[in-house]
């Protein structure tokens, strides 16, 4: 199973970019890296995923290192509503999401 | 597009009672997952279905937990008898297919179970 390591918590000022790092040195070559977030009392929300190349969507950008051992999720302009637990997730043999403890991001004004 | 529907949203039962949770995945999604999330922890996979077949149930406490996905659409998760440590949020998720096929999973709001 692909295991990930993330900082326990991070702070970010509203309007600034939030850069959330993740180490996933055991991920295999054909497994995607997923990012989800969970706001209190809600189910996890999909943000983005990638394999080798950097990815961008309307929510965030994902930068994956060339060796695929780490990645960074970038929220370009954090708002108070981005305060949540962010999970960098590997998969179980490419079939199911295996969650770790995640990073609690606190965005303040 | 409708999301993953779960019911009930909240349930309180006494220990040793039984309880069932229901999940309706996104239309057309072949893969369905049940997760257990204990307060302060990340979700833990309990069981994964591909259509109506079980892909992985290695983390399901089979002495008290059971799950089925009849006709490959809706699914139910049952606990009988419940223990205090089963207090958690039970999350259902679905995806078009296996994640290795470059797809994503979508989660429901979850059912919060309190065992007293």
Rounded mean pLDDT, B78-97? 96
Say yes or no to pLDDT of B61 above 80: yes
Mean of the per-residue pLDDT values of chain B: 94
Residue of A97, A99, A101 to mutate, interface with B, max B Cβ within 10 Å: A97
The mean pLDDT of B107-111, rounded to a whole number, is 97
Q: What are phi and psi of A20, to 5 degrees?
A: -105, 115
pLDDT digits (tens, 9 = 90+) for A40-72: 889 999 999 999 889 999 999 999 999 999 999
Task: Identify the pLDDT of residue B1.
Answer: 60
Q: Which residues on B lie below 8 Å from A97 (Cβ)?
A: 33, 43, 45, 93, 99, 105
| pLDDT of B10 | 97
Contact state of A46 with B45 under an 8 Å Cβ cutoff: no
Q: What local confidence, expressed as pLDDT, does residue A1 receive?
A: 55
Q: How far apart are CA A37 and CA A59, in angstroms?
A: 11
Tell me the pLDDT band of A2, cut-offs 50, 70 and 90.
low
Are B99 and A95 in contact (CB < 8 Å)? yes
Residues 6+ apart with CB under 8 A from A29: A68
Mean pLDDT of the region B38-44: 94
Mean pLDDT of B22-39: 96
Lowest mean pLDDT among A72-76, B87-91, B103-107: B103-107
Per-residue pLDDT tens for A11-33?
A: 999 999 999 999 988 888 788 89
Contact B43 A30 (CB under 8 A): no
Q: How far is CA A41 from CA B79, B89, B107, in A?
A: 22, 9, 13
The three-state DSSP-derived secondary structure of A3-66 is CCECCCEEEEECCCCEEEEEECCCCCCCCCEEEEEECCCCCCEEEEEECCCCEECCCCEEEECC
Mean pLDDT, range B28-55, rounded to an integer = 94
Which residues of chain A lie closer than 8 angstroms to B43, CB-CB? 44, 97, 99
Tens of pLDDT along A61-105? 999 999 999 999 999 999 999 999 999 998 777 688 989 899 999
Record: contact A99-B100, CB cut-off 8 A: no
Neighboring chain B residues of A98 at a CB cutoff of 8 Å: 45
Interior angle at CA A10, CA A6 and CA A32, nearest 5: 35
């Amino acid at each position: 199973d692909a295991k990930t390591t993330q900082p326990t918590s991070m702070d970010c000022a509203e309007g600034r970019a939030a850069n959330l790092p993740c180490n996933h040195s055991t991920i295999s070559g054909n497994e995607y890296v997923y990012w989800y977030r969970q706001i209190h009392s809600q189910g996890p929300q999909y943000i983005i995923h990638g394999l080798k190349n950097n990815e961008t969507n309307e929510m965030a950008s994902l930068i994956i290192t060339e060796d695929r051992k780490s990645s960074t999720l970038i929220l370009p302009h954090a708002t108070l509503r981005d305060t949540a637990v962010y999970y960098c997730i590997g998969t179980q043999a490419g079939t199911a999401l295996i969650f770790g403890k995640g990073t609690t991001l606190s965005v303040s004004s | 597009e409708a999301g993953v529907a779960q019911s009930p949203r909240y349930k309180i039962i006494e220990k040793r009672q039984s309880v069932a949770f229901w999940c309706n995945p996104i239309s057309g999604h072949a893969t369905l997952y049940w997760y257990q999330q204990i307060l302060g922890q990340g979700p833990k996979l309990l069981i994964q279905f591909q259509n109506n077949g079980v892909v992985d149930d290695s983390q399901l406490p089979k002495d008290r937990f059971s799950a089925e996905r009849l006709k490959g659409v809706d699914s139910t998760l049952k606990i009988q008898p419940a223990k205090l440590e089963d207090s958690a949020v039970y999350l259902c998720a679905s995806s078009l297919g296996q994640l290795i096929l470059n797809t994503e999973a979508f989660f429901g709001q979850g059912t919060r179970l309190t065992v007293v």
